[in-house]
């Protein structure tokens, strides 16, 4: 059994392994960056680069819709990549590696931004993120499931893209409403 075959059987036997790894990686990146901001005493500099006012958005349905559409666009990236990778003819190895790098970069940059903000703004931001943050992170991890499935078994990703998209849409809608929950009119 080759290493690739062993990895494919691991993914097939535990479909939550991929999303759990994504959540763990994003959490670790955010935590490391938050600690670095605090240890390096860079809170003031980060606040200057990332000025936030909590609550970040007005409590309107328009604000919730704006947050929702932005997050939905981010979640669409791995879902679209899954449809491309899951085609019968499939992309080249070079293209798959490029998409892998793009998705990893998106994850790392967004996690680092959250970590930097958490380090700079501390407990008020962490409390603000407590309700909607885990829902958003879960939605993004679920969006990656079809892509991970397509990488390990191209023919099997197609059926779950639609289901993953629906779950992501529902989680992101709930997260957007929770994010602007204060004063929602």
102 falls within a domain: yes
Question: Does a structural domain hold residue 173?
Answer: yes
Query: Which pLDDT tens digit goes with each residue over 168-182?
Result: 999 999 999 998 875
Residue at 44 is within a domain: yes
Band of the pLDDT at 99, cuts 50, 70, 90? confident
Q: What is the pLDDT of residue 184?
A: 39
* Residue 184 located in a structural domain: no
pTM over 0.75: yes
Average confidence (pLDDT) over 42-64: 83
The distance from CA 93 to its chain's CA centroid, rounded to whole angstroms, is: 24
Is 10 contained in some domain?
yes
3-state class (DSSP) for residue 137: helix
**185 within some domain:** no
Helices 17-39 & 3-13 angle (0-180, nearest 10): 100
Please check whether residue 127 lies inside any domain of the structure.
yes
Q: Considering the chain, what percentage of its residues have pLDDT values greater than 70?
A: 84
pLDDT at 185 over 70: no
pLDDT for the residue numbered 7: 55
Residue 154 located in a structural domain? yes
Residue 59 token pair: 């409590």
What's the domain count of the chain?
1
């Amino acid at each position: 059994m080759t290493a690739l075959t062993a990895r494919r059987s691991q993914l097939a036997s535990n479909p939550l392994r991929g999303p759990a790894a994504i959540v763990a990686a994003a959490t670790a990146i955010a935590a490391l960056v938050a600690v670095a901001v605090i240890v390096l005493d860079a809170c003031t500099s980060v606040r200057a680069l990332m000025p936030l006012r909590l609550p970040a958005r007005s409590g309107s349905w328009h604000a919730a819709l704006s947050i929702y559409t932005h997050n939905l666009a981010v979640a669409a990236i791995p879902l679209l990549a899954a449809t491309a990778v899951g085609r019968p003819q499939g992309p080249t190895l070079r293209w798959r590696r490029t998409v892998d790098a793009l998705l990893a970069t998106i994850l790392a940059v967004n996690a680092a931004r959250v970590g930097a903000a958490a380090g700079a703004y501390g407990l008020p931001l962490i409390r603000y993120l407590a309700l909607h943050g885990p829902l958003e992170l879960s939605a993004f991890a679920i969006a990656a499931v079809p892509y991970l499935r397509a990488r390990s078994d191209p023919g099997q990703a197609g059926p779950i893209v639609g289901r993953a998209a629906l779950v992501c849409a529902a989680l992101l809608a709930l997260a957007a409403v929770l994010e602007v929950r204060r004063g929602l009119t």
